[in-house]
Amino acid sequence: MTNQKLQFLEWAKRAEDDLQMAELALKENGQPSQICFHSQQTAEKYLKSQILVPSAGIEPALSS
């Protein structure tokens, strides 16, 4: 696997982790500020993966 793909997967994994935290906080009636923070981090990390690694050729698997 190329270094670009590894970078992409690393950022995508970080984004997925933040998304899971946002979903958990939402489900458990967590603090709105924490839900927003983790949601924003999810978007930022997915964007970063695309900006840093636009030619990785991997589509992120988004949670439903």
Which residues are within 8 A (CB) of 54 and not within 5 positions of it... i.e. 6 or more apart? none
Q: In angstroms, rounded to a whole number, what is the distance separating the alpha carbons of residues 28 and 46? A: 25
What's this model's pTM, rounded to 2 decimal places?
A: 0.76
Question: What pLDDT was estimated at residue 2?
Answer: 80
Mean of pLDDT values over 53-57: 63
Whole-Å CA distances, 16 to 8, 41: 12, 10
Q: In angstroms, rounded to a whole number, what is the distance separating the alpha carbons of residues 25 and 48? A: 24
For residue range 13-35, what is the model confidence (pLDDT) as tens digits?
Answer: 999 999 999 999 999 999 999 99
